[in-house]
Amino acid sequence: MDINCTIIGIIILAAFIVPFILLHIKKSNEKKTFSDFCNENDITVSEKETVNHYTIAIDREHRKFVRAEIKGGSINSVIIDIEPGCQCDVEGDETSGVSLRIGNKKVRLTSADDGIQTNKEALHTAEVWKKKMNEMK
């Protein structure tokens, strides 16, 4: 009698666990990658860097700057056309957060909950990318 109860218990438990496992497998297969995003938007990445929870890249061929944040399989992105003669500047500091201003558009590189160390790293990254974009004249 005990073996029958054990078998029935295992079957009932499996009936509840298997759908969750299948759902998890399906969700993990639906996740987009940065490469998928670039292919869908006709972006040829010349240089890229992953910083904190986002990726920034430049497409020298099509003159575009990309910032993409991948969360839970979805992508929150900003794509900016870099016009000839467009000036890039760094805005912000270690305490207020860091942004890149590309022409008249602003791209935030840190979020409100990032700490000073993260902002210092973002400030350095912003300076490097500012130089790269200003060289594209």
Q: What is the dihedral of CA 54, 68, 133, 94, to 10 degrees?
A: -40
Shared domain check, 16 and 53: no
Confidence of residue 121 (pLDDT cuts 50, 70, 90): confident
**pLDDT value for 24:** 67
Shared domain check, 116 and 73: yes
Domain count, the chain: 2
Shared domain check, 17 and 58: no
Residue 54's nearest CA partner among 42, 71, 37, 39 is 71
Shared domain check, 130 and 113: yes
Shared domain check, 26 and 38: no
Shared domain check, 7 and 52: no
Mean pLDDT, all residues of the chain: 80
Domain that holds residue 89: 34-134
> Rounded to 5 degrees, what are φ and ψ at 64?
-130, 145
**Own/partner pairs, 48-57, CB within 8 angstroms, 24+ separation:** 49/125, 49/129, 51/109, 51/121, 51/122, 51/125, 52/110, 52/114, 52/118, 52/121, 52/122, 53/111, 54/109, 56/109, 56/125, 56/129
Shared domain check, 112 and 77: yes
For 96, the 3-state DSSP assignment is coil
Shared domain check, 48 and 91: yes
CB count in 10 Å sphere of residue 117 = 9
**pLDDT value for 116:** 59
Amino acid, res. 127: E
**pLDDT value for 57:** 92
Each residue's pLDDT tens digit, 52-85: 678 889 999 999 999 988 776 677 888 888 888 8
> Rounded to 5 degrees, what are φ and ψ at 6?
-65, -45
**pLDDT value for 98:** 84
Dist. CA 89–CA 1, nearest whole Å: 76
Each residue's pLDDT tens digit, 80-104: 888 888 888 998 877 778 888 888 8
Shared domain check, 115 and 100: yes
Shared domain check, 107 and 76: yes
Shared domain check, 84 and 45: yes
Confidence of residue 117 (pLDDT cuts 50, 70, 90): low
